[in-house]
Amino acid sequence: MGWINKQRNILDFALNSLLRRKGKNSALFVVYTGIIFLVSSIIFSSESIKRESQILLENSPEVVVQRTIAGRHDLIPEQYIGQLKSIRGVQEVKGRLWGYYFEPGVQANYTFVVPDEFLYGPGYIVIGNGVSKTFLAGKGDILPFKTLDGSYTSLEVADILSPDSEIVSSDLILLSEYDFRKVTGMQKGFYTDMILKVRNTRELQAITDKIRRILPDTRPITRNEIMRTYEAIFDWRSGILLAVISGAAFAFIIFAWDKATGLSSEEKKEIGILKGIGWETSDVLFMKTWEGLIISLSAFFLGVFFAYIHIYFASAFLFMPVLKGWSVLYPEFRLVPFLDMFQITTIFFLTVAPYTVATIIPSWRAATIDPDSVMRL
Amino acid sequence: MLSRKSDFFIAFLVICLMLLLLMTVHAAFSVRHAMPNIQAKARMVRGLHLTDLSLFTDARYTRHPSMADLHTAFQDHPMSFEHFPSGAIVFPPSHIHSYGLDQ
């Protein structure tokens, strides 16, 4: 009990001491909270999108085979299906039909996708929510599409994909093979690329090697590579954001370092008086540790809470302009809080620990010198 | 009851810890709540054989980064600057590295 009471007294003293230097400490507190808010926002948002994309892309094709000519992606002929099927370990080969469509009226790029089985048949399309919003089109509306020969073909909107799926479907236009070939001009017997299903995923490496050997003009892309690409994108993106805020972070570090390591003569005198009236070195150290903890813990909690609200309740509105780029069709989606203790502990040790440690060292130096010489400063 | 400044601070810390706990509980519930929707999207990815997220529709290599060809980085000109803002925040696909083109 005695020890707890002593700590409470020291805590009272530390709080009073901080309040005596209100201006400087509140400025430090605001900047500190702001930095923790930004770092936490970046960690929360990148983790969320990374985890969600991982779950989604685990369902992407096992292998995509692209044909490349002169370094550019080219259409792949139907005959390749037979050659790919002949590779041992390949279970199924399908041609994929997809492509882009630029709509000058709304200055947006859409993605055409032909499903394996399109229930509505020729003359109809199913559109993503982003397409519906930019085209201002609803169920039953007829949309014109410019075909390769310059004429227009009209397709009726049979359905709109759920707005909840915007992260994967915002710009999609699903249509029949007939309409796709009519609009894009892609000849029969050709596909955009091919997808493979393999019997045993452990044989993937051997299968992709074989594909490269028997079809040297193709490039196999595995599901693993797709997932790694997205992991890299989100790491890179959070890295870019961190680089953007690093200027502010460095300014804070200099400010905090100056505040934490260089005790003012007034503070040194205070320590001298405390020692003069009987405080022990350990008490002075406790007092300074409490001062550091009061500022850093409060800033940590508030910064983390604000970041959580910013990312998961306010749709990360501060980051959106950076993320959207020039996309007309940026999907509206709510990030899911895949929060774990690891993220919280990372933020804690990145922010609270360094500041608290930095405040103790100069205080220990000041607390161990002779009180008489400190008071004479 | 709260007569001293230290009492207020300790109460503040307790409230913060409770809020942190509440935050993790909220996160766990949100994930559980969102799972059916995520699974529906995963089914869509599987059914339509999708390879990419519809995040940046500016250019084909930002819409489908995993399908970008090996020359994407210099597609307009070997010395050209990146044209689209998204290009600055979309990392080059990993297979570009695996082909050793950056060496």
Asked if B37 reaches chain A (Cβ–Cβ under 8 Å), the answer is yes
Show me where the domains of chain A are located.
Answer: 2-57+229-375, 63-221
- Report the C-alpha gap between A36 and A33 in whole angstroms: 5
Asked if A321 reaches chain B (Cβ–Cβ under 8 Å), the answer is no
pLDDT in tens, A196-230: 999 998 899 999 999 999 999 999 999 998 998 88
| Secondary structure E strands in chain A | 63-69, 72-74, 76-77, 90-96, 98-103, 108-113, 124-127, 142-146, 152-160, 172-175, 190-191, 193-198, 218-222
Instruction: Transcribe B20-69 into DSSP letters.
Output: HHHHHHHHHHHHHHHHHHHHHHHHHHHHTT--S-SS--SSHHHHSGGG--
CA distance A224 to chain B (A): 10
A contacts of B49 (beta carbons < 8 Å) = 60-61, 94, 96, 116, 195
A contacts of B34 (beta carbons < 8 Å) = 336
Q: What is the structure's pLDDT at A327? A: 60
Best of B60, B89, B96, B101 to disrupt the A interface (most A CBs within 10 Å) is B89
Q: If we measure between CA atoms, which residue out of A367, A352, A346 comes closest to residue A238? A: A346
Residue of B nearest to A95 (CA): B49
Show the CA angle centred on residue B6, arms to residues B5 and B12, nearest 5°. 95
CATH node for A63-221: 2.40.40.20
pLDDT in tens, A228-265: 888 887 777 667 667 767 776 777 777 767 766 666 77
Residue B101 has pLDDT above 60, yes or no: no
Q: Are A237 and B56 within 8 A, CB to CB?
A: no
Asked if B83 reaches chain A (Cβ–Cβ under 8 Å), the answer is no
The number of residues making up chain B comes to: 103
Scanning the structure block, which residue is given the tokens 């709540």?
Answer: B33
Asked if B1 reaches chain A (Cβ–Cβ under 8 Å), the answer is no
Asked if B74 reaches chain A (Cβ–Cβ under 8 Å), the answer is no
pLDDT in tens, A293-320: 899 999 999 999 999 999 999 988 887 7
Show the CA angle centred on residue A249, arms to residues A243 and A255, nearest 5°. 155
Asked if B4 reaches chain A (Cβ–Cβ under 8 Å), the answer is yes
Q: Please give the backbone phi and psi of residue A84, each rounded to the nearest 5 degrees, phi first.
A: -70, -35
Best of A191, A326, A332, A333 to disrupt the B interface (most B CBs within 10 Å) is A326
Asked if A57 reaches chain B (Cβ–Cβ under 8 Å), the answer is yes
- Report the C-alpha gap between A155 and B11 in whole angstroms: 64
Strands A190-191 and A76-77 come out as antiparallel
Torsion angle defined by CA atoms of residues B35, B39, B42 and B43, in that order, rounded to the nearest 10 degrees: -170
Q: Decide if A316 contacts A41 (C-beta within 8 A).
A: yes
Residue with the bigger pLDDT between B40 and A288: it is B40
DSSP state of B77: -
